[in-house]
Amino acid sequence: MSIVTHLINGEMRPANGRVADVFNPSTGKAVCQVELASQATVEEAIAAAKAALPAWRNLPPAKRAQILFRFKTLLEENEAKIVALISEEHGKTPEDAAGELRRGIENVEYATAAPELLKGEFSRNAGPDIDSWSDFHAVGVVAGITPFNFPAMVPLWMYPLAIACGNTFVLKPSERDPSSTLLIASLLLQAGLPAGVLNVVNGDKEAVDTLLASPDVKAISFVGSTPIAEYIYREGTRRGKRVQALGGAKNHAVFMPDADLDNAVSALMGAAYGSCGERCMAISVAVCVGDHIADALISKLVPRIKALKVGAGTQCGLDMGPLVTQAHLEKVTGYVNDGVAAGAELVVDGRDISIAGHEQGFFIGGCLFDRVTTEMRIYQEEIFGPVLCVVRVASLEQAIALINQHEYGNGTCIFTRDGESARLFSNEIEAGMVGINVPLPVPVAFHSFGGWKRSLFGDLHAYGPDGVRFYTRRKTITQRWPKRETHEAAQFAFPSNQ
């Protein structure tokens, strides 16, 4: 069985340590193994990034951009290989995997604008014969820790922009589906990236803690669950690092009585059940304003959920593949059991699904709960599976209050034809990303991605303009050249332009 190892200083390293199985979720069988980096291995990657930093940060941004242009072309040329690896190790459908990759490529395109993004600001005669300007410097060696659910897209949120800004990078991807991430990194080397600028170490908590402890790692980006995000933020900032840690979500969709229900249901189906619900932007709660809209929504959802095409993630033409691991399947099933025990009405039960020829796969069908209340665990906690909860309220104001009281504030949306309702909702809702008749309001690459409350730890969102700010430090220079043979008296008052 092949072993996925590490990319350090431009070389794939032979395996010589602990390993873990990587499964095909559709079959339940291991397809390869991944080496789990030791502290020494991670420190070697950090040292390689540190050694590569001086030359890379001094390379003109236009030359960095040229490498990223070639990288983008290679990503497009190798799409089929990347998609196949994602589908095999993650379980998402080829169409979904291809969409993930293309959204990642958009971030590479944004990073190719480094010469424009890194231009400084200049003020002539900011004071008497004084010029002042600011420019942007690389932070140094930075690290990224990325989740299993987007092995292509989320790393591409991070390192293309980080290296475009002159940093060097150590990536610790998920050990559950590492192959596509490593292939993509190797394409960047093929595009001409110097050795050591990007390093990939596969691993577990030992690797994460080594990155947190290293004084040479100046900043860390993270995407994953809220408990780990909080841990990384706390431990990273305690050591003086710059940290952006994106955590979990419980995304609500509000359905107003005037919603275009047929189109809204189509949108909700994709948002709730696409990628088997393993998205931090998945809609997991439908908040219906009034019983009439709730009853109508459920009557339209039930046949659509029962008709979902579920099968092996490597097949095209499906709606859902399996969940990523057996442990995660047991976790999601446990939430469904808990919802039933708590008194929610399980309208559609997907727990007993069986896929012919893939009986050992990690499959669950779409589940739908009605009459969910806020004290239930299925409402409070992130399930990360194809489970949709319907909550009934009497007014838009109650819907807004309900969402704002939740600990998460990642994304949300409203379905309505009324501009006043949409404006009130977008103004008053406490979430980082808001959709108006858009169920998955994931910002495009030239905006930034991130939530509020316990969905984000740190001050800056991911990629886009906030990404540039995160991966750079501003330096402001003020200069004055006194006229020759002019002797000026000392000034003891604070200088001003008055």
Q: Are 244 and 224 in contact (CB under 8 A)?
A: no
Classify strands 411-415 and 408-409 as parallel, antiparallel or unpaired.
Answer: unpaired
Separation of alpha carbons 411 and 4, rounded Å: 34
Answer whether 220's CB lies under 8 Å from 111's CB.
no
Order of strands across the sheet that contains 472-480: 121-127, 130-138, 472-480
Q: Which helix (H) or strand (E) holds 124?
A: strand 121-127
The closest alpha carbon to 423, from 442, 402, 400, belongs to 400
Instruction: Take residue 119 and report the two structure tokens written for it.
Output: 């231009």
Find out whether 207 and 180 touch, Cβ atoms under 8 Å. Answer: no
Structure tokens at 38: 């030791």
- Please, is 290 exposed, middle or buried when counting C-beta atoms within 10 Å of its C-beta (0-12, 13-18, 19+)? middle
Please give the Cα distance from 95 to 98 (Å, whole number).
5
Catalytic residue (choose from 280, 288, 367, 389): 280
Rounded to an integer, what distance in angstroms lies between the CA atom of residue 79 and that of residue 84?
Answer: 9
**In Å, how far are 66, 127, 479, 489 from 498, measured between CA atoms?**
47, 10, 19, 18
The answer to whether 280 is a known catalytic residue is: yes
Point out the residues that are catalytic.
280
